[in-house]
């Protein structure tokens, strides 16, 4: 029962992409903190080191560690590889490559007076999440997806055909207009579908997602007595997420109905938000530093645009393409707060080791409607209660190291991303990230390369109402290159 209930709630958004729910919150609350190549190679573990532009999104106190001005940019490649396995033993592979900028930024450093050794300000952009993926699933079934349309129409004792378009514009009406769903001869208010008696139907499900999340930032901080480093950052995170799912069914050639159809769900989410981050780094002794940071919740103003298209080819040779109305909905997502504590060891001129421990309380997030242009009457009380019941506080761990063989740098790192789902569910949603890289550092410039491998699992629905799903193993390969100049 636990597994079935988990699948229903966790995959509801994927099956009905235009319904905002608690898993929108989870998507936009989860950060991988990708950035420049040095940061990526060290597992994103920089909380007590600083003097790195991407680290400012984790601990803005790191801006106080800068001793010179800095400019850098990071082109990056992300490749997502997926392997799906169905309950019947079928498997399929797919993948998707995308290019983006992981980081671009500038930090200006200025000498100060008194106990303040220097002050610095920074402006830039850091990538925080990648949404690019492609999943392919092949399977067979005796229960057609058209059952879901019939169940909708018959749920309340039937419905008049002329009212279906208003009641179910994104679902059952598509099947009705394409003559896949028809009224019973004996009762015009009740319905069945053309594949009612079909068996061994071939199903092909293709999921494709695009986009990512990033944060434009404005940071300010200083160095006090070369021992205490303070910083503050105002972040303007940006989200672009595209969900494109195509599901198709084809009967066997020997089937008397000889029918095929496909349903495409398309959703595009975009928007911006705002947050504030405060941080510090304290040098206890020359070889040991500690760091701490607090991230306020991010408040996103998001817009979903969506539509569904059904294509059908019937046994009589007729074909139909039916498209739903174009939908749009504005809403707010408030993500959880974060606490980050860090410690680093400076091993002379030879190397460094840093560890970050991050706490994120996913149960504190919530959804609400944007009523700026009027209300549609959306009530997110159920979804927000699900957040409190099904999400929990979790921990993320990042460990990184760098060793110096002048002018070269050798780096490695590891990240553990904790499971935000409460332990009442049997499925695991944690992730592991392994990374390495190298760099060349000169007085006036530096060049770095980083590679990260993220491994995790998910469950993708075929037809969730029939409890048909596929187990999916995912691997994200992330390669980044940074060129920077100090002056």
Examine residue 154 and state whether it is found in any structural domain, yes or no: no
pLDDT digits (tens, 9 = 90+) for 432-478: 999 999 999 999 999 999 999 999 988 888 898 888 888 899 999 99
Q: What's the token pair of residue 332?
A: 């707010």
Which domain CATH number covers 69?
2.40.160.60
pLDDT at 77: 96
Count structural domains, the chain: 1
> Sign (positive/negative) of CA torsion 150, 152, 158, 162?
negative
Examine residue 366 and state whether it is found in any structural domain, yes or no: no
Instruction: Report the predicted TM-score, pTM, of the whole model to 2 decimal places.
Output: 0.89
pLDDT at 34: 86
Check: CB of residue 295 under 8 Å from CB of residue 277: yes
The residue to which tokens 């699992």 are assigned: 457
pLDDT at 191: 96
Rounded CA Rg of the chain: 26
pLDDT at 377: 75
Examine residue 112 and state whether it is found in any structural domain, yes or no: yes
Q: Rounded to whole angstroms, how far apart are CA atoms 178 and 311?
A: 8
pLDDT at 425: 57
Structural domain containing residue 251:
2-144+195-359+377-428+441-486
Q: What share of the chain is helix, strand, coil (3-state, %, to 5)?
A: 15, 55, 30
pLDDT at 469: 87
pLDDT at 254: 87
Check: CB of residue 335 under 8 Å from CB of residue 297: yes
18 CB-side CA count, 13 A: 17
Instruction: Choose among 288, 272, 289: nearest CA to 280.
Output: 289
Check: CB of residue 11 under 8 Å from CB of residue 469: yes
Q: What's the token pair of residue 352?
A: 């460094």
Examine residue 159 and state whether it is found in any structural domain, yes or no: no
CB atoms within 10 A of CB 69: 15
Q: Rounded to whole angstroms, how far apart are CA atoms 459 and 84?
A: 9
Examine residue 160 and state whether it is found in any structural domain, yes or no: no
Q: State which residues of the chain have pLDDT below 50.
A: 1-17
Check: CB of residue 75 under 8 Å from CB of residue 480: yes
Examine residue 126 and state whether it is found in any structural domain, yes or no: yes
Examine residue 434 and state whether it is found in any structural domain, yes or no: no
Counting every residue written for the chain, the total comes to 487
Coil/strand/helix, residue 180: coil
Examine residue 268 and state whether it is found in any structural domain, yes or no: yes
pLDDT at 55: 96
């Amino acid at each position: 029962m636990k597994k079935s209930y988990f699948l229903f709630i966790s995959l509801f958004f994927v099956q009905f992409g235009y319904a905002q729910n608690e898993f929108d919150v989870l998507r936009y609350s989860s950060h991988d903190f990708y950035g420049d190549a040095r940061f990526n190679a060290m597992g994103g573990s920089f909380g007590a080191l600083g003097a790195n532009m991407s680290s400012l999104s984790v601990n803005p106190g790191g801006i106080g560690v800068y001793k010179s001005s800095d400019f850098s940019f990071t082109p990056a490649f992300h490749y997502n590889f997926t392997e799906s396995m169905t309950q019947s033993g079928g498997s399929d592979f797919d993948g998707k490559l995308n290019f983006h900028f992981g980081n671009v930024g500038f930090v200006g450093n200025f000498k100060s007076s008194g106990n303040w050794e220097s002050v610095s300000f920074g402006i830039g952009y850091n990538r925080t999440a990648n949404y690019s993926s492609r999943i392919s699933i092949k399977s067979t079934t005796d229960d057609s997806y058209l059952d879901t349309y019939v169940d909708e129409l018959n749920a309340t004792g039937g419905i008049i055909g002329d009212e279906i378009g208003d009641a179910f514009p994104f679902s059952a009406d598509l099947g009705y207009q394409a003559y896949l769903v028809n009224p019973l001869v004996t009762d015009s208010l009740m319905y069945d579908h053309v594949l009612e008696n079909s068996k061994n139907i071939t199903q092909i499900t293709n999921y494709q997602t695009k986009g990512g999340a990033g944060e434009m930032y404005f940071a300010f901080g200083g160095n006090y007595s070369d021992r205490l480093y303070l910083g503050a950052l105002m972040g303007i995170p940006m989200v672009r997420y595209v969900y494109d799912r195509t599901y198709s069914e084809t009967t066997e050639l020997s089937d008397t109905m000889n029918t095929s159809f496909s349903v495409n769900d398309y959703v595009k989410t975009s928007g911006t938000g705002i947050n504030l981050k405060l941080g510090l780094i304290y040098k206890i002794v020359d070889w040991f530093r500690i760091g701490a940071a607090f991230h306020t919740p991010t408040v996103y103003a998001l817009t979903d645009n969506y539509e569904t298209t059904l294509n059908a080819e019937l046994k009589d040779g007729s074909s139909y393409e039916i498209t739903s109305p174009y939908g749009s909905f504005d809403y707010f997502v408030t993500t959880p707060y974060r606490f980050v504590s860090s410690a680093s060891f400076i091993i002379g001129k030879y190397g460094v080791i840093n560890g970050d421990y991050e706490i994120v309380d996913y149960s504190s997030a919530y959804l609400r409607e944007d009523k700026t242009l009027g209300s549609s009457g959306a009530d997110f009380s159920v979804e927000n209660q699900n957040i409190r019941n099904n999400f929990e506080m979790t921990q993320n761990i990042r460990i990184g190291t760098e060793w110096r063989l002048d002018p070269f740098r050798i780096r490695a790192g590891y990240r553990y991303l904790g499971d935000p789902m409460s332990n009442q569910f049997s499925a695991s949603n944690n992730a592991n990230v392994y990374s390495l890289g190298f760099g060349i550092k000169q007085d006036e410039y530096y060049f770095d390369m980083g590679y990260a491998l993220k491994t995790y699992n998910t469950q993708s629905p075929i037809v969730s109402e029939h409890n048909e799903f596929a187990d999916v193993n995912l691997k994200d390969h992330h390669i980044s290159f940074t060129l920077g100049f100090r002056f």
